[in-house]
């Protein structure tokens, strides 16, 4: 804190999509929502050309370092990590505008005393709504009907209501818990699979990974919502997909590398699964030559399920201010990233 104010710097990327770009109006509205802090804050907005640091221009670095000299808090996604303690000597915490932080690992660059915060929870209203939509699509056999439409085929598929069917959610943290809540509203029986969480308010039960095969065996739907870590990478493997019955549908709204895409592709083509909706992929954007573009009974959404065009940045900044109030009151910060984990 210098000049009696708390300096918050927001770093945008001009190559990013609109939903992730903070504008001056966002800041003005934030201050109107927090009038008691308005004269205590100095909020700056910078913008670099790209997320990839190696593509930054000299002007990008010069502007960024200038802002960071006095920054107490930074909000952003990608930034130079080398010598951060030197170029940002007053920085106390960084608020990532994403839930996932694997893009900035390993955390060897994090100096002592610097806290990392992720955006967990900001996505929930939109991601929960999307997940409910995807469940409805799978239950109505829409992926199969869309495949039939592309093939000019009159394929009459009769289905039944979703109430009473079984959903298994892999990963019942913040996002998985919201998915469970939405599913319960739809009348599903919900089982969580999680190595750390023992119970979840909206799950009928939560089991460990050792019970995964048993729960997969009679599942109607599998939802993948766990974060990407060294432990979860590739965890929904060919073998585990094979534990699901042929009627099952798969949804991945977490991170692509949790799921064996090639195995899913083969199983959908062979009719060993009924359908799938994928919002995330190993490589993004999905390459033009990916076989997934032509996989039958698969709906592809381009990593848009959780990002609200209108509310994402306001909710992100609200979380920043909530944590600032926590800090000023001596309360713990929300969404602290455990940098001891291997992401």
- Which residues are identified as catalytic? 255, 284, 303
Note if the bond before 285 is cis, omega within 30 degrees: yes
Note if the bond before 106 is cis, omega within 30 degrees: yes
Q: Is the separation of the CB atoms in 326 and 332 below 8 Å?
A: yes
Residues 162-201 as b/e (b if ≥16 CB within 10 A, e otherwise) read beebbbbbbbbbbbbbbbbbbbbebebbbbbbbeebeebe
- The separation between CA 38 and the C-alpha centre of its own chain, rounded to angstroms, equals 30
Token representation of residue 157: 């598929």
Token representation of residue 152: 């000019």
CB atoms within 10 A of CB 214: 11
d(CA 271, CA 265): 10
d(CA 177, CA 169): 9
Q: Which residues pair with 206 in a beta bridge?
A: 192
Put residue 9 in one of left, alpha, beta given phi > 0 → left and psi -120 to 50 → alpha: beta
3-state secondary structure of 100: coil
Residues 18-54 as b/e (b if ≥16 CB within 10 A, e otherwise) read eebbbeeebbeebeeebeebeeebbbbbbbbeebeee
């Amino acid at each position: 804190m210098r000049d009696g104010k708390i300096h918050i710097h927001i770093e945008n990327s001009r190559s990013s999509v609109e939903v992730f770009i903070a504008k001056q109006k966002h800041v003005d509205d934030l201050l109107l929502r927090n009038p008691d802090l308005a004269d205590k804050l100095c909020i700056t907005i910078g913008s670099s050309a790209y997320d990839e640091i190696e593509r930054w221009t000299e002007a990008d670095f010069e502007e960024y370092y200038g802002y960071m000299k006095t920054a107490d808090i930074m909000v952003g996604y990608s930034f130079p990590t080398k010598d951060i303690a030197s170029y940002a000597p007053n920085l106390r915490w960084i608020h990532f505008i994403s839930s996932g932080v694997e893009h900035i690992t390993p955390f060897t660059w994090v100096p002592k005393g610097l806290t990392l915060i992720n955006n967990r929870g900001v996505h929930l209203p939109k991601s929960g709504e999307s997940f409910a939509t995807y469940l409805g699509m799978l239950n109505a056999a829409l992926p199969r009907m869309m495949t039939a439409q592309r093939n000019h085929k009159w394929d009459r598929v009769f289905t039944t209501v979703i109430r009473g069917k079984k959903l298994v959610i892999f990963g019942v943290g913040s996002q998985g818990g919201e998915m469970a809540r939405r599913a319960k509203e739809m009348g599903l029986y919900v089982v969580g699979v999680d190595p750390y969480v023992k119970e979840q308010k909206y799950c009928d039960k939560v089991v460990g990974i050792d019970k995964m095969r048993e729960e997969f065996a009679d599942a109607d739907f599998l939802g993948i919502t766990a974060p990407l870590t060294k432990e979860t990478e590739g965890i929904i493997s060919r073998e585990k997909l094979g534990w699901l019955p042929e009627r099952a549908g798969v949804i991945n709204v977490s991170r692509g590398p949790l799921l064996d895409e090639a195995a899913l592709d083969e199983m959908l083509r062979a009719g060993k699964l009924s359908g799938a909706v994928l919002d995330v992929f190993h490589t993004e954007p999905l390459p033009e030559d990916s076989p997934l573009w032509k996989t039958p009974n698969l709906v592809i959404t381009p990593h848009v399920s959780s990002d609200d065009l209108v509310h994402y940045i306001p909710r992100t900044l609200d979380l920043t201010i909530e944590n600032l109030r926590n800090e000023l009151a001596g309360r713990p910060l929300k969404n602290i990233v455990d940098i001891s984990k291997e992401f």
